[in-house]
Amino acid sequence: MPFKEMSASKVAQLELMKAESFRKQQTAFCVLTLFVIAVLLLLHTLFASLLDEPSIWIILLLGCSFSVKVIELAWLQGRTEGISEETARRETALSITGLFILSASLIFLTNHDDAPYLVLLVIPILQCAFCFGLVPTIVTIVTAIGMIFYWLWHFFTLHPPQQPSEYLEGGMISIIFALVGVIVWFLVHQRIQQQAMLSDNIAELEATREKLAVEERLAAVGRLAGGIAHEIRNPVAMISSSLTTAANPEVRNTDREAMLQIAAKEAERLERLTTDFLSYARPNDPKRISTLVSDLFAYTADVVKAYASARSIKVTWSAAETTPIQVDPSQVQQALLNLVLNGIDATDSPGAVVLRADRTGRLIQIDVQNTGARIPDSDLSHIFEPFYSTKPTGTGLGLSIAHCIAQAHGGDLWVSRNEEGSVTFSMTLADASGAQPE
């Protein structure tokens, strides 16, 4: 199966990153040009004894060029969304042309064999290597080298005799220009290839992630459907079998009554299963009212008292939090009942189930601890899945519903401790009132 293309949001994000990269690249060259112009004018002034004082035309030309670059820099800083590749190429081509014209003008105005303004030619070479391919870069290098040797020939034609040492120096500069241009182009080309590979890898990872998410959703739906079918099939089969037997005229009245009781019991079980599933599948939004944690604990302990006493399990509670909290009492009580009943069923007699509560900021943490055996690792990763139960008569929805209730209250439910003789489920609830502990 071929990988899907990246999502539109990812593509847009990559385009924004590229646009910002082009803006930063053009800004760097703009700053570099400003720096070189300023340094060259300073050097010309400091070494006026060798190069003569910079003429008014040189100063004006450098000043105009400096001003143009300042305007360009301000424009780039204003493009906070970045610039397109086409804009960057167009601006680079104009900058390269302008720098060649500026260099040639300054060389002729300086009228010296050691004109320092030849250094400006390295900037167009770097710009071309960054923005264009190898052929344009080589053309730019050849043009710069041609300008160097043409100026030397022109200068010594007007001021003989010819100086071979100057041509040698020009050749060395040309070699440096060629090396700089080719090496920079190679490094930039490598970077572009790496970026392309990275983009492909990101697209592949994105497609894989989406594929895994879809498969996980399908697997979850399959598990859910299988659980529903399994839980419904048995009661329906029992009801059908019991009613068929009861309808047989040869069956004694006592047996018929027993069959009808079995059918009624299984129908009640089926109704309870349907109610639990609807609570899990379509949880209601919490209707928060002010309540005390101690009231929630006291109610839960009273409800399970008879069930726990029959199994010699002691249920106790303590609540350090005494400030009223804004939660849905009926939902939280349902979650607590599920947790406490699970704790009772998991504890051998004599044993204990303890409820504790504490606050951390806006979160109320409720711990339900039992003294039963530790949960096997094979079950631990599935206990919050719907219809997963280790109890023969369990629907496997109790913990799933409690987990949904905790999340609906802006919290979570997890196993915070899992040791032999001490298993703790921790549930957090966000207090909507925002009250702080006294």
> pLDDT for 361-370, tens place per residue?
888 899 999 9
Same domain for 163 and 293, yes or no, is: no
Same domain, 152 and 200: yes
User: Residues 29, 108: one domain?
Assistant: yes
pLDDT at 404 over 50: yes
Q: Is residue 69 part of a domain?
A: yes
Residue 315 inside a domain? The answer is yes
Q: Is the pLDDT of residue 28 over 50?
A: yes
Local confidence band at 2 (pLDDT 50, 70, 90 cut-offs): very low
Asked whether residue 196 falls in the same domain as residue 222, the answer is no
Beta pairing, strands 422-430 & 289-291: unpaired
Mean pLDDT for the stretch of residues 49-58: 86
Q: What is the pLDDT of residue 226?
A: 62
Has residue 192 got a pLDDT over 80? yes
Tell me the C-alpha distance between 17 and 30, whole Å.
20
Give the pLDDT confidence of 229-284 residue by residue, as tens digits: 656 766 777 788 788 888 888 777 887 788 888 888 778 777 766 766 666 666 66
pLDDT at 282: 61
Same domain, 151 and 115: yes
- Report whether pLDDT(393) > 60: no
Tell whether 173 and 263 lie within a shared domain: no
Tens of pLDDT, residue by residue over 102-160, are 999 999 998 887 788 989 999 999 999 988 989 999 999 999 999 999 999 998 898 88
Cα separation of 196 and 18, whole Å?
Answer: 12
Is 212 a member of any domain?
A: no
Q: Is residue 323 part of a domain?
A: yes
Q: For the chain, percent helix, then strand, then coil, each to nearest 5? A: 65, 10, 20
What was the pLDDT predicted at 80?
Answer: 83
The last residue of one of the domains, among 281, 299, 334, is 281
Angstrom distance (rounded) from CA 15 to CA 82:
10
164: pLDDT strictly greater than 60: yes
- At residue 52 the predicted structure's pLDDT band, cuts being 50, 70 and 90, is confident
> Band of the pLDDT at 51, cuts 50, 70, 90?
confident
Q: Which helix (H) or strand (E) holds 353?
A: strand 351-360
- State in Å, rounded, how far the first CA of the chain is from the last one: 60
Segment 10-19 shows an average pLDDT of 74
Name the pLDDT band for 1 (thresholds 50, 70, 90).
very low
pLDDT > 70 in the chain, percent: 86
pLDDT at 280: 61
Helices 8-46 and 56-78 pack at an angle, to 10 degrees, of 160
Measured distance CA(290)–CA(339) in Å, rounded: 22
What's the number of domains the chain is made of?
3
Task: Let me know whether 190 and 259 are in one domain.
Answer: no
CATH of the domain at 255: 1.10.287.130
Q: Which of 145, 178, 207 is the last residue of a domain?
A: 207
Domain annotation covers residue 88: yes
Which residues span the domain enclosing 171? Answer: 8-207
256 and 355 part of one domain:
no
Q: Which of 252, 281, 310 is the last residue of a domain?
A: 281
- The pLDDT of 421-430, averaged and rounded, is 91
Flag whether pLDDT at 345 surpasses 60: yes
Residues 271, 314 within the same domain: no
Give the residue with greater pLDDT, 316 vs 260.
316
Is the model more confident about 175 or about 398? 175
**437 inside domain:** no
Q: How confident is the model at residue 18 (pLDDT cuts 50, 70, 90)?
A: confident
Which pTM does this prediction carry? 0.52
367 and 411 housed in the same domain: yes
Residue whose tokens read 């199966």:
1
